[in-house]
Structure 1
Amino acid sequence: MDTAVLELDTSRRRITDLTAQVREFCAAKGDGLCNVFVPHATAGVAVIETGAGSDEDLLDALERLLPRDDRYRHAHGSPGHGADHVLPGLVCPSVTVPVGAGEPLLGTWQSIVLVDLNRDNPRRSVRLSFVSG
């Protein structure tokens, strides 16, 4: 298995497009599977269309589903931080993408993104793992 770790600063955005980094990681690796995993309890990874409003729609939907108030039992951190800990139940911490001839086999409009609503921790690691098939 081949692995790399991306170190990211998410202080300026809640959705970070990882597609270019995943393509670069997979280049020249042949056929297999690429797993994208975020080892954090308050972030997730999704495959969505970006740039046409879907990314903002996702954020709006998550804000409606996970309001930032005092309803959460997990209550440390900034107000509503408990919502950040529920996020990985809705946006999984990993995705696996098939790779053919070193190219992630994404659909025309699909992008791999990190979703991070947590303002308490803007430093994120994303692990990319490739398994030949």
Structure 2
Amino acid sequence: MHDITGQCAEFVHGQGEDGLLHIFVPHATAGVALLELGSGSDDDLIAALRELLPADDRWRHRHGSRGHGRSHVMPALIPPYATVPVLGGRLALGTWQSIAVVDLNVDNTQRQVRLSFLSH
């Protein structure tokens, strides 16, 4: 799990207007989550994903490391995109909300994040 809230805030900073920030990860094993980070919620999410999607041999998608198929199922639970309102050039997140990329794939650690801004 990687916190990208700061990069997203930098991207919209100075837009000086209202709109929508769209976050997309173009990967078959990654998702974008809005949640509280650093208080244990992030660890709870990873623990829940490990329970729901164990790294074992049950998966039909079998290339890569053991349990790699779970990585390809995860984006159905945590989609590879999110949209966040922007007000006055600032992210309109809740008090404890952060933006994180979630990826269970241990075979490929290189990830891209595509950000786009739609002004009102």
TM-score by length of 1: 0.89
Residue 55 (structure 1) aligned with residue 55 (structure 2): no
Aligned to 1:119: 106
- 1:23 aligned to 2:16? no
1:96 is the counterpart of 2:76: no
Distance (whole Å) between structure 1 residues aligned to residue 9 and residue 40 of structure 2? 23
Q: Distance in 2 between matches of 1:66 and 1:89?
A: 12
The secondary structure found in structure 2 opposite 1:114 is strand
Q: Secondary structure at the match of 2:113?
A: strand
Q: CA deviation at 1:50?
A: 0.4
Paired amino acid for 1:34: L
**Are 1:129 and 2:116 counterparts?**
yes
SS at match of 2:112: strand
**Letter of the 1:86 counterpart:** V
User: In 1, Cα distance between the equivalents of 2:46 and 2:23?
Assistant: 20
Which structure features the higher share of strand residues? 1
Task: Determine the C-alpha separation between the residues in 2 that align with 1:39 and 1:75.
Answer: 21
Alignment gaps of 5+ in structure 2: none
1:60-91 alpha-carbon deviations (Å, 9 max, x no partner): 00000000011111011100000000000001
User: What is the 5 A alignment of 1:70-89?
Assistant: 70-89=57-76
1:31 shift after superposition:
0.7
Structural RMSD (CA): 0.4
